[in-house]
Amino acid sequence: MSPQATGTTAPYLGWRTSVRGHRGAREARADARWDPGHVSEKAHDAHKGHIRVFVVDDHAVVRRGVNRLLSHDPAIEIVGEAATTREAMDRVPDAHPDVAVLDVRLPDASGVEACREIRSHDESVKCLMLTSFADDEALFDAVMGGAAGYVPKVITGDDLITAVREVAAGHSLIDPAATAHVLERLREGGTRSEVAEDRPGRLTAQERHILDLIGEGLTNREIGEQAGLKEREVRRQVSKLLAKLGMERGHRRVA
């Protein structure tokens, strides 16, 4: 299902806070929701400037839909698009986007891995994930990918533009209390889907450490610096962790 210009926006979690400033904000109300009708001052400032957006989705109709909706804001420029993670990594460095809008499900890697790869190359790029279902699984994907937020594919044009402005201005659309809940559940051996037979048992000490660093919003490169590991090894550890948590491509619902 492609983004649409009209209709009811599906509910999704959101929280306007600094992307890197949510670390100590875990006492925020768990039932908070981002109000797309409230545009922050920084988002207004971003609107006055120029926002470069890169779109990643394996369906051409979705890419066209996103491009069409965002084109209604003259301050937003689509600087590139890709159908796969590999294409994105080949094109994003030259496109220099401020925001990457990407599907949670891609043919050659998960959206989580794509988001982490993009941000490891340039952590200034804010990722906004597109999901067919605005539920716990979408929240897990956004948190693990280090995304600034996620939006349903069924979204109004105005709300998508507002979301892009917000993340471009440095805000996270994810409730920090919900992030804390997700991380705690995963630390205790929960999975992305919470299907009983898929539960992997408790994480190892190293896996919990990497999970905590992911929860702080660190990129693979930054995790390597903190943990004394090469980025390639961090990438391997993160992929292993995602698989253990049921977040690899094989566990994904069809988007």
Q: What is the pLDDT of residues 41-100, one digit of tens each?
A: 444 444 457 999 999 999 999 999 999 999 999 999 999 999 999 999 999 999 999 999
* Residue 197 CB partners (closer than 8 Å, separation 6+): none
Angle subtended at Cα 175 by Cα 174 and Cα 176, rounded to the nearest 5 degrees: 105
d(CA 241, CA 54) in angstroms, rounded, equals: 27
Q: For the chain, give every domain's residue range.
A: 31-174, 181-251
Which among 230, 240, 236, 233 has a CA at the least distance from the CA of 203? 240
Q: What is the pLDDT of residue 193?
A: 52
Which among 194, 206, 207, 213 has a CA at the least distance from the CA of 242? 207
Candidates 3.20.10.10, 1.10.10.10, 1.10.420.10, 2.40.50.140; correct CATH number of 181-251?
A: 1.10.10.10
Percent of the chain with pLDDT over 90: 36
Q: What is the pLDDT of residue 208?
A: 84
Find the range with the poorest average confidence among 30-34, 60-64, 94-98, 160-164: 30-34
31-174 topology per CATH? Rossmann fold (3.40.50)
Q: What is the pLDDT of residue 105?
A: 86
Q: What is the pLDDT of residue 178?
A: 79
pLDDT at 159 over 90: yes
- The reported pTM is 0.71
Q: What is the pLDDT of residue 191?
A: 52
pLDDT at 106 over 50: yes
User: Tens of pLDDT along 217-232?
Assistant: 899 999 999 888 899 9
